Amino acid sequence: MEEDFITDAITGRPYRPLSESEAQQLSIHLQERWNRANPELSLELPVDAHCQHVISAVQTSRVVVIAGETGCGKTTRIPRFLLEDRVRGGSGAECNILVTQPRRISAVSVAHRVAQEMGPALKQSVGYQVRLESRLPEHSGGAMLFLTVGVLLRKLKSNPTLKGISHVVVDEVHERDINTDLLLALLRTSLNENPDLRVVLMSATGDNQRLAQYFGGCPIVKVPGFMHPVRDKYLEDVLKEMGRRCQNDATPDLDLVADVIEHIDRCGEPGAVLCFLPGWQDIKAVQEKLEEKPHFSSGSQMILPLHSSLSVADQQAVFQRPQVGQRKIVLATNIAETSVTIDDIVHVLDAGTHKEQNYDPRTKVSCLDTVWISRSNVTQRKGRAGRCQPGQSYHLFSRKQLESLPPFPIPEILRTPLESLVVQAKIHSPNSKAVDFLSQVLDSPEPESVRDAVQNLQDIGVLDKTERLTPLGDRVACMSCDPRLGKILVLSSMFRCVLPMLSVAACLTRDPFHNSLQNRALVNKAKEALSGSSNSDYLVFSRAVLGWRKVQQEGDREDRDEFLERHTLSKASLRFINGLISQFSENLHDAGLVSHPGDCQRHTSLYNEHSNQDELLKAVLLAGLYPNLIQVKKGVVTKGGRFRPNSISLRTLSGPVLLHRSSVNRGKEDLPSRWLTFFSAIKSNGNVFIRDSSAVHPLALLLLTDLHGDKVEVSFPGRSLVRCELPVEMWELLWELRTSIQTMLHRNLNSPSNTNASQDGKLISLLVELLNNTESNPLVHSSDSEVD
Ligand SMILES: Nc1ncnc2c1ncn2[C@@H]1O[C@H](COP(=O)(O)OP(=O)(O)OP(=O)(O)O)[C@@H](O)[C@H]1O
């Protein structure tokens, strides 16, 4: 790669190495600045005593594992020690440190803390960069950037050997999220190719020996922790205090959670409460339960939800101090579990569970289960109290339950679908087979699962037979979302309906609705109203988002509130979704598919020419999601042998499915088509539920599926193909249209400079007309052999 094309991993601008004299000048300047500012340490932490040991270990060995117990100060101090040592030693210009955090909240809050500790004269050397937001150091050379692992992975695309970076500090390695595991594998390669690079792996409670072995037996520096005393109270203790009976279910008893919070508020010492719950719905449910309690009606409590879907600004609210006499109650998922210091937390309440994605390769379906956490999570959660003063940890599980918990969480890579990871592997290592590349990670996934993911990517045309990214795959790889959603976005730019599809892709990443158990009926009603006769959960999403954007532009505050309430939409989620829309627009621009990112969001641009054509939108969704197809069959024989002519049964390639209650198509007996398409399915109690679905026009099936083939093949195992009953001439015309559309897509993907906008425009208009003016049901009939 030419150096011109490498980006500076600190500033994002083109990378330009400093000349010797420039480096010398900058180093002197930095040295003087640090000597003048002479930053102090705001309080003594255990790691301070190990400062020299850490620095010399990093000098002697290019990779070091720091095994630092909770609260020892590794996150906030070690990057600073490394920078300070180089600056004061006169080589600050060559020191650029990237510090990864698993989550946005910790990257932002730790950067603030470090900047604050270093003082106003030096704080411009510290920055952060997370998805959708950044505050970068003023220049590279003597800089420290806190960033999420995902952001670093993207930086590695444009600077694979991390030229210009002196240290990568990977914090919270023990969490073993999929991105960190991929990062570690890539860092091993970067270390070989960039002799200036050093890697520091920071882990609290983890298998540090294994980690050190992975990096050729590198040294491990142990740092003891410090915590103010935190008293443990287990379920039996808490229940005894409250006169309740014990239970041992992984589903948290939310009434109990609310009661314990009330108990703490009534009887506990002053200080904030941090309560860990599995997910957003539980957080909202506990918030509602608290607000319904007479004890909480005085408003003398400040209840703050904390969830990954909140914007950075909303997340930062948890660091605010409440008014005197007010108790702060933070209701959080595990995002507050590591690296985060909320300095007034005295009481931690741990429901003992979190949401965990588990993938079943047989049904190709993931379930997001609420499961018990591991013992290392328990330690981390407890460690959020006692950081600035003594505290208490209320564990809502018994001592016996604690003993039965696994010591560490199962690495994410072993329990999630691997398509996105395989695409990442192809970006970073295009010449390796995915199985070989992924055999290099710390815990390799089953080769069978990797092969499945490769097959799925081949099925959607992202990889070719030799496992290389296709021209479509190259574009999809630029999208920071699931490859199927990425494919929808790529296609939407060619079919000129970008904005609704950006909204759909964003909503499939973050739900815009105020979904809670209590709200379910209201949300369903709102969805029904938005859906109209579209039979599409995706059009519901796009109408919600586009409606919100319109009312924001044209309405006053009252209109906006009314819109949100009428449609049970969450303002915070919509703000996040807007951010995602901008990010995906940038991605489309990076992929060379739109001339300017702003064009994607302009209603009058060519890319939105057909954005109000619902049938086209549904057709493009099918083209992106195929072969995620559901066959709808009318007439069901019940277990008791009775025939119900109006009931419908559904099946996908993997077998029978049901529609989830969140889908607008659930319970509909008059679907306009025999086919639905879908994005996400979940497994629950042995059934596979489709979360979101959209009716498919059979013409779309004939014209837009199977991008690279020369025949239309819609088949289910053991069943015959879809049969078209059409006059020969019409079939020939349709085949010609299909070929023209496929040629247009092929041309746009392979040689975008060679497009013929007016010819493409006519073709798309013809497609729109055909879709709008033909009925979606009678055209295609299943063959008789399909009947069971
Ligand atoms: N924002 C803050 N406000 C007040 N004190 C803080 C803040 N951030 C850190 N500290 C203090 O510094 C200590 C060390 O924090 P740091 O995040 O560096 O620890 P750590 O070793 O990385 O711990 P962990 O792995 O548990 O996150 C905290 O226990 C707390 O006493």
Q: Is 75 in the pocket of ligand 1 (CB under 6 A)?
A: yes
Question: Where is pLDDT greater, at 709 or 668?
Answer: 668
Q: Are residues 285 and 393 both part of a single domain?
A: yes
Is ligand 1 within 6 A of the CB of residue 382?
A: no
What is the helix (H) or strand (E) element at residue 637, kind and residue range? strand 629-637
Q: Does the ipTM surpass 0.90?
A: yes
Q: Which residue puts its alpha carbon closest to atom 4 of ligand 1?
A: 343
- Same domain, yes or no, for 178 and 117? yes
Please tell me the residue having the least CA distance from ligand 1 atom 16.
Answer: 73
* pLDDT for res 163: 96
Mean pLDDT of the chain: 88
pLDDT of residue 693: 95
To test ligand 1's pocket by mutation, which of 341, 346, 348, 378 has the most ligand atoms within 8 angstroms of CB?
341
| Residue ranges making up the domain that contains 61 | 3-223
**173 shares its domain with 287:** no
Asked if the structure places residue 713 within a domain, the reply is no
The C-alpha atoms of residue 700 and residue 616 are separated, in whole angstroms, by 9
| DSSP single-letter state for residue 169 | E
Q: Is 204 in the pocket of ligand 1 (CB under 6 A)?
A: yes
Q: What share of residues in the chain are helix, strand, coil (percent, to 5)? A: 45, 20, 35
Atom of ligand 1 nearest to the CA of 380: 26
* 342 Cα: distance to centroid of ligand 1 (angstroms): 9
In whole angstroms, give the CA distance from residue 468 to residue 487: 16
Residue with the smallest CA separation from ligand 1 atom 18 is 73
Ligand 1: residue whose CA is nearest its atom 12 = 73
Q: Is 74 in the pocket of ligand 1 (CB under 6 A)?
A: yes
Does the pLDDT at position 597 exceed 90?
A: yes
User: How many percent of the chain have pLDDT more than 90?
Assistant: 62
Q: State pLDDT tens for residues 737-788.
A: 988 998 999 889 887 666 677 888 999 999 999 899 877 654 344 443 332 2
Q: How many CB atoms lie within 10 A of CB 264?
A: 21
Cβ-proximal residues to 221 (8 Å cutoff; 6+ apart), any chain: 50, 53, 54, 57, 64, 65, 66, 67
Q: Which atom of ligand 1 is nearest to the CA of 69?
A: 21
Is residue 590, in this structure, part of any structural domain at all? Answer: no
With bands split at pLDDT 50, 70 and 90, how would you rate the model's confidence at 711? very low
Q: Give 757's Cβ-side CA count (13 Å radius).
A: 8
Query: Would you call 438 exposed, middle or buried from its count of C-beta atoms within 10 A (0-12, 13-18, 19+)?
Result: buried
Note whether residue 599 is domain-resident. Answer: no
In a domain, 603, yes or no: no
Residue 391 sits in a domain whose CATH number is: 3.40.50.300
Let me know whether 290 and 387 are in one domain.
yes
| Residue 536 located in a structural domain | no
Q: Are residues 93 and 123 in the same domain?
A: yes
Which residue from 54, 109, 387, 388 has its CB within 8 A of the most atoms of ligand 1, so it is best to mutate? 387
Helix axis angle for 149-158 and 419-428, nearest 10°, is 30
Q: Which atom of ligand 1 is nearest to the CA of 227?
A: 29
How far does the centroid of ligand 1 lie from the alpha carbon of residue 47, in Å? Answer: 11
Angle between helix 614-625 and helix 483-494 axes, rounded to 10 deg: 140
- Does residue 415 sit in helix, strand or coil? coil
Of the candidates 379, 413, 447, which is a domain's last residue? 413
Q: Which token pair is 256?
A: 């109990």
SS (H, E, C) 582-632: HHHHHHHHHCCCCCCHHHHHCCCCHHHCCCCCHHHHHHHHHHHHCCCEEEE
Which helix (H) or strand (E) segment is 311 a member of?
Answer: none
Q: pTM for this one? A: 0.83
d(CA 579, CA 333): 22
Ligand 1 geometric centre to CA of 338 (Å)? 10
Task: Determine the residue type at 3.
Answer: E
**Is the same domain home to 57 and 165?**
yes
Separation between Cα atoms, residue 347 and residue 644, nearest integer Å: 57
181-203: pLDDT as tens digits: 999 999 999 999 999 999 999 98
Element (H, E) at 781: strand 780-782
Looking at residue 340, its pLDDT comes to: 84
Does one domain contain both 266 and 209?
A: no
Does the beta carbon of 387 sit less than 6 angstroms from any atom of ligand 1? yes
Give the 3-state DSSP-derived string for 639-651, with helices as H, strands as E and coil as C: CCCCEEEEEEEEE
- 3-class DSSP assignment, residue 664: coil
Same domain, 53 and 86: yes
Task: Tell me if 160 CB under 6 Å of ligand 1.
Answer: no
Q: Is 194 helix (H, G, I), strand (E, B) or coil?
A: coil
Domain final residue, candidates 413, 434, 451: 413
Read off the pLDDT of residues 559-573 as tens digits, 9 standing for 90 and up: 999 999 999 998 888
Residue 31 lies in a domain: yes
Distance (Å) of CA 269 to CA 264, 274, 388: 8, 14, 15
339 C-alpha to center of ligand 1: Å?
Answer: 7
**Residue 703 backbone dihedrals phi, psi, to 5 degrees:** -95, -30
**Same domain flag for 209 and 235:** no
Q: Which atom of ligand 1 is nearest to the CA of 77?
A: 18
Are both 218 and 234 inside the same structural domain? no
Distance from the alpha carbon of residue 71 to the mean position of ligand 1, in angstroms: 5
Mutate to test the pocket of ligand 1, among 44, 76, 77 (most ligand atoms within 8 A of CB): 76
Q: Please give the single-letter amino acid code of residue 704.
A: L
Residue 602 lies in a domain: no
Residues 240 and 219 both lie in one domain = no
Give the integer Cα–Cα distance in Å for 346 and 330.
11
DSSP letters along 436-492, please?
HHHTTSSSPPPHHHHHHHHHHHHHTTSB-TTSPBPHHHHHHTTSSS-HHHHHHHHHH
The residue from 382, 413, 444 where one domain ends is 413
For the chain, what is the domain count?
2
* Whole-number Å distance between alpha carbons of 653 and 635: 20
Q: Is the domain of 183 the same as that of 234? A: no
pLDDT tens, 76-111?
Answer: 999 999 999 999 999 999 999 999 998 999 999 999
How remote is the C-alpha of 650 from its chain's centroid?
Answer: 29
Tokens of 585: 């627009």
What's the 224 CA to ligand 1 centre distance in angstroms? 14
